[in-house]
Structure 1
Amino acid sequence: MISLSVIIPTYNPDAERFNKTLNGLKEQTLSFNHWELIVVDNNSSSGFSSQVDIAWQPNSNIVHEPKQGLTFARLKGFAEARGAIIVIVDDDNILAADYLEQVLHIFNKESKLGAVGGKSIPLFETAPPEWLSTFYSNLALRDLGDEVIMEGWSNKYPQSAPIGAGMALRKTALKTYMDKALVGKVKTTDRTALSLSSGGDNDMVIEVLKAGWLVAYHPALTLQHVIPAKRMETGYMAQLVNNTNRSWVQVLDSHGINPWNKIARWTVPLRKIKAWFTYKAWKNKVNFIRWQGACGTFEGLADSL
């Protein structure tokens, strides 16, 4: 019986990193009979399917989602999933060997739990610059310690809410999010080939909370997140922080919990110039990236007007 569905949305993945992700799943302590693997190909180049070996998992399938964007790929996976529990795995995540077994244990123990995540530990392909740790959260890296944290809806976003990498969800808790998607009310499409925006994880978590479920951070869940050299470059990080800040404002606004005042579009260039000096963006890489983040926030606040 399939109890759990692992969904990997992917677009032209790096072959070496993707194989590490698959090898991590191959080594899971949970019997293959109890879970399935769904790889969602989101418009990758031709020949992708023939390059992916998932035959080792008898309950596996590669499905295609022609609409570009991580949100669409995830929704495709959700629709295909047979398990009562869904685990989202990025194509650069390596789950600890007991990850899936721990997920089932946690959900069986906590009947009101809708979504849970754990530790996302960096696996750097090259030595990281010292300043990078300032932006770990933007890279979906986190470690909140060794205590379980569980929260419900309090009209604000919980600091312990699960991140997309390795997020496990009860499929019934996803109903309102999927219903919203069916009528075209899911506004964020997350990352695409041209954008580093995010927000889909947050949107899902808020819908789960609003539906009356709890969310949790659980230290028993650990994964490694592979960080290649490109993602440690200043230009990449500046675009990432800019795009994620912009989409973060948009998600909060869509749920009526945006704490900042909206701004007129014409004021954005002036605010960016002022922020350049406020953040002293010329001084170092951290300041420059933070300035880019402020620019993304201004754009998000203007978009929401």
Structure 2
Amino acid sequence: MTASSQPAGVSVIICTHNGADRLPATLKHLANQRVDVMLNWEVIVVDNNSTDGTQATAQTLWKEFGAPTELLALFQPIPGKNRALELAYETARFSYVCIVDDDNWLNSDYIQRGYDLLESDERIGVLGGGNEGVFEIEKPEWFDAFRISYAVGTPMSQAYTPLETGEVVDGVLWGAGMFFRHELWQKLRQLQFESLFTGRIGTKNMVAGEDDELCLAVRMLGYKIWFDADLHLKHFMTANRLNWAYMQRILYSSVWSVVRLSVYSFAQRSDAEKYLGIWPWLVDLLYVTWSICKEVLSGPFWRATFHQDKYYFANFKWRLLRLYAMVKDYKLSRRNFCKVYGFKQRINAKFSVCQPVNFM
């Protein structure tokens, strides 16, 4: 592990599109952080092509809240969260970055606790915690069943059990309040890392997954992903997001994320080279098809049909869409695999390039 070339401290990054109405509470909680007088920190707000005066609003609010540290308000005219983050990373001055969404209200010890944990173990590359949902209107009765789609509560392992404090070896963290070492962004650039995502673009493109991808890429670099149950924030749920139609949009958008991210697990296999061919992709497709067929023939499926269980069928539709996405994005998935496989090779210092695939 190499030491960071930047001074110790935390750069808090908020990327927002038309977030002027959400920023007051978010910035107020940041202004109320209890940090050691010797801790260097800053706030970077990136206005991602907003039309509501977000950039100026952030500067005005910060002054009203006492400006406990420097706030820099930037403008990124190119839509997409990844574009906004890239601008912030280039500007960030300190060794650790904390990504805060415009609807995240950090506990008053959040920045200090995250900093101390990262300082305690140089092998921790990404750090995160859980959160509590706060609702602008009464929480819908269906919300808890789909809270993961909203990144509310405690992240889950791949076995669908809540994470506990410690290293995350079979899961990822949520991007809300995520810390990571700034030096890792520099390493990713040196290794010609190419994200498979652009990040959400307003409500036009709701396919996300860049936070999961960061965890997976950092783990490939040999660093720990660390969950701390005492690193806590409140996740504010606005009224316009708390309806069944919006929930389904979020849920079904995640299908495309899951299909894209699957190539990371393929690239980490000892026999990853076989995914340069066609057969493994067909096997995966047949497996998913067979699992859906078995479900259609199962008792739970017909009981859900009889009771018109919309929750069950929302999840069942997700699985059908996953099958559709595997077929539709077949060629894209193979190209994405080559990107990730090539990244793995460069990490291993082989400097070999994944050979182009002759698609059928």
Normalising by the smaller structure, the TM-score range is 0.7 to 0.9
Quote how far apart the aligned CAs of 1:196 are. 1.5
TM-score normalised per structure 1:
0.84
Q: 1:138 to 1:69 in 2, by over 3 A?
A: same
Q: Deviations over 1:90-116 (max 9, x none)?
A: 000000000000001101111210011
Matches within 5 A, 1:43-62: 43-45=49-51, 47-52=53-58, 53-55=61-63, 56-62=67-73
1:189 maps to which of 169, 186, 198 = 198
Does the 8 Å contact 1:238/1:292 carry over to 2? no
**One-letter amino acid matched to 1:22:** L
Q: Percent identity?
A: 25
1:283 maps to which of 305, 308, 315 = 308
Quote how far apart the aligned CAs of 1:254 are. 5.2
Q: Does 1:69 align with 2:77?
A: no
Does the 8 Å contact 2:199/2:207 carry over to 1? yes
Quote how far apart the aligned CAs of 1:190 are. 1.9
CA distance in 2, matches of 1:176, 1:296: 35
Aligned length: 289
Deviates more, 1:287-296 or 1:200-209: 287-296
Does the 8 Å contact 2:131/2:233 carry over to 1? yes
Counterpart in the other structure of 1:30: 35
What SS does structure 2 have at the residue aligned with 1:175? helix
Q: Does 1:3 align with 2:9?
A: yes
Q: 1:301 to 1:62 in 2, by over 3 A?
A: same
Q: Does 1:234 align with 2:275?
A: no
Does the 8 Å contact 2:46/2:84 carry over to 1? yes
Structure 1 unmatched runs, 5+: 153-157
**One-letter amino acid matched to 1:54:** W
Quote how far apart the aligned CAs of 1:59 are. 1.6
Q: Does 1:99 align with 2:110?
A: yes
Name which structure has the greater RCO, CA cutoff 8 Å, separation 6+. Answer: 1
Counterpart in the other structure of 1:21: 26
Quote how far apart the aligned CAs of 1:147 are. 4.5
Q: Deviations over 1:111-154 (max 9, x none)?
A: 210011111110111221222111111101122679512135xx
Matches within 5 A, 1:1-305: 3-13=9-19, 15=21, 17-30=22-35, 34-45=40-51, 47-52=53-58, 53-55=61-63, 56-143=67-154, 147-152=164-169, 158-159=170-171, 161-179=172-190, 185-193=194-202, 194-253=204-263, 256=266, 261=283, 263=285, 280=305, 283-302=308-327, 303-305=329-331
Does the 8 Å contact 1:112/1:214 carry over to 2? yes
Deviates more, 1:166-175 or 1:51-60: 51-60
What SS does structure 1 have at the residue aligned with 2:105? strand
Does the 8 Å contact 2:20/2:54 carry over to 1? no
CA distance in 2, matches of 1:254, 1:191: 20
Quote how far apart the aligned CAs of 1:13 are. 1.3
When the two chains are superposed, the root-mean-square deviation of aligned CA atoms in Å is: 3.0
**One-letter amino acid matched to 1:185:** E
Q: Deviations over 1:247-279 (max 9, x none)?
A: 121122256359985559xx9xx99xx89x787
What SS does structure 1 have at the residue aligned with 2:139? coil
Q: 1:119 to 1:192 in 2, by over 3 A?
A: same
CA distance in 1, matches of 2:181, 2:165: 18
Quote how far apart the aligned CAs of 1:60 are. 1.3
TM-score normalised per structure 2:
0.72
Q: Deviations over 1:29-49 (max 9, x none)?
A: 015861000001110016332
Q: 1:128 to 1:116 in 2, by over 3 A?
A: same
Does the 8 Å contact 1:36/1:57 carry over to 2? no
CA distance in 1, matches of 2:199, 2:307: 30
Q: 1:66 to 1:124 in 2, by over 3 A?
A: same
Does the 8 Å contact 2:17/2:49 carry over to 1? yes
Deviates more, 1:200-209 or 1:136-145: 136-145
Does the 8 Å contact 2:20/2:57 carry over to 1? no
Does the 8 Å contact 1:198/1:248 carry over to 2? no
Deviates more, 1:226-235 or 1:27-36: 27-36
CA distance in 2, matches of 1:281, 1:132: 23
What SS does structure 1 have at the residue aligned with 2:225? strand
**One-letter amino acid matched to 1:252:** S
CA distance in 2, matches of 1:162, 1:19: 26
CA distance in 2, matches of 1:147, 1:247: 24
Does the 8 Å contact 1:124/1:226 carry over to 2? yes
Structure 2 unmatched runs, 5+: 1-6, 156-161, 269-279, 332-360
What SS does structure 1 have at the residue aligned with 2:142? helix
Does the 8 Å contact 2:165/2:227 carry over to 1? yes
